[in-house]
Amino acid sequence: MAKKLIKLALLVSAVSIGLATTAFAAKEEAKPAAPAAAPAAAAPVELVSGASARMLAETCAGCHGTDGVSGGPATPTIAGLHGEYFVEVMKGYRDGTAYATIMNRIAKGYTDEEFSKLASFFAGQKFVPAEQKFDQKLADAGAKIHDKWCEKCHAEGGKILADEEYYILAGQWTPYLKYTLEDFKSGAREMPKKMKEKFDGMVKKEGDKGVDALLSYYASQK
The set of residues, in sequence order, having a beta carbon less than 8 Å from that of 91 and lying 6+ positions away, is 107, 112, 115
Amino acid identity at 68: G
Buried b (16+ CB within 10 A) or exposed e, 137-157: ebbebbbebbeebbeeebeeb
Establish whether the linkage from the previous residue to 73 is cis, with ω within 30° of 0. Answer: yes
* For residues 200-204, average pLDDT: 95
Fold of the 129-222 domain:
Cytochrome Bc1 Complex; Chain D, domain 2 (1.10.760)
Q: What is the CATH number of domain 52-127?
A: 1.10.760.10
Say whether pLDDT at 74 is over 80: yes
Whether the pLDDT of residue 95 is over 90: the answer is yes
- Residue 114, pLDDT > 60, answer yes
Assess contact for 220 and 179: CB atoms under 8 A: no
Closest CA to 77 of 92, 86, 62, 65: 65
pLDDT at 36: 55
The answer to whether 94 and 110 have CB atoms below 8 angstroms apart is yes
Same fold, 52-127 and 129-222: yes
Determine which helix (DSSP H) or strand (DSSP E) holds 216, and give its type and residue range.
helix 193-220
| 51 burial level (CB within 10 Å; 0-12, 13-18, 19+) | middle
- What pLDDT digit, counting tens, does each position of 7-52 carry? 333 333 433 434 344 443 444 444 455 555 555 544 443 444 578 9
* Every domain of the chain and the residues it spans: 52-127, 129-222
Q: What is the pLDDT of residue 37?
A: 55
Whether this prediction's pTM lies above 0.85 is answered by: no
Q: What angle do CA 201, 196, 158 make, to 5 degrees?
A: 90
Mean per-residue pLDDT, 84-101: 94
Q: Mean pLDDT across the stretch 132-147?
A: 97
Look over the chain and give the mean of its residue pLDDT values, rounded to a whole number. Answer: 83
Compute the average pLDDT of residues 190-205. Answer: 94
Residue 91's Cβ-count burial label (10 Å; 0-12, 13-18, 19+) is: middle
Distance CA(44)–CA(138), nearest Å, equals 63
pLDDT at res. 39:
52
SS3 124: coil
Q: Is the pLDDT of residue 144 over 90?
A: yes
